[in-house]
Amino acid sequence: MKSLVPPGVYAPQEDTELLAGALLEEPVAPGAEVLDVGTGSGALAVTAARRGGRVTAVDVSWRAVCATRMNAFRAGVPVRVHHGNLFDPVRGRSFDLILANPPYVPAPGGHRMPRGAARAWDAGGDGRMVLDRICREAPGLLRPGGVLLLVQSALSDPEATLGPLRAAGLKAAVTRRRRIAFGPVLQEREKWLRERGLLLPDENEEELVVVRAELPV
């Protein structure tokens, strides 16, 4: 079922599809506790709920919260949806699976906080404003044997994601890759990205990667 996406809410795109493919390869036991952080329109939350997970979804956008509730209702699956900043609404809980499609696009202006719809993609000068927080906080929310699935751009340094996750005791690796044409945001920033050295002179596609990190039992 195609998601209903109100204006200002991040619509499912290639990164959503890539992460959904990783999710479909992951065993989800009936009743497994699943967290979809930065849920957007709820596409991943609904997919996980259809597989039998007990899904909690979080987004900082009220429009996204409403969209996820609406799409879960249309799909006929239960999803608990909370408004809040990343893991704040689920403090004290633990999960078997955490899904994250966070903002990861490098943006001019340093670490100035984005506003409006740009909150779904802008992530500071290095693209890691949200990724670094996920790497710090997600390991403490995983149950033994639990898995974090995260999608990001190669522009925001996958090695900087793998390092902290491994340092926290997780087995972490890039498990999926896909190259895609530049979307409108990267087209607008192409000159700036090349000046920063984040894009090579002959590079005309963006690489997306899925990081899988598992907390050993």
Query: Angle at CA 87, nearest 5°, toward 208 and 141?
Result: 90
Per residue in 60-112, pLDDT tens?
Answer: 999 999 999 999 999 999 999 999 999 999 999 999 999 999 999 998 876 66
For residues 3-22, average pLDDT = 92
Q: What is the helix (H) or strand (E) element at residue 147, kind and residue range?
A: strand 142-153
Cα dihedral angle (204, 205, 207, 208), rounded to 10 degrees? 140
Q: CA 110, CA 192: separation in Å to the nearest integer?
A: 13
- Predicted confidence (pLDDT) at residue 114 exceeds the cutoff of 70: no
Nearest-Å Rg of the Cα atoms of the chain is: 16
pLDDT in tens, 162-186: 999 999 999 999 999 999 999 888 9
Burial of 31 (0-12, 13-18, 19+ CB in 10 A): exposed
Burial bucket for residue 94 (CB in 10 Å: 0-12, 13-18, 19+): middle
Q: Which two tokens stand for residue 121?
A: 């993609």
Question: Is the confidence at residue 1, as pLDDT, over 90?
Answer: no
Q: Give me 120's structure tokens.
A: 């779904």
pLDDT value for 197: 86
Indicate whether 201 pLDDT > 90: no
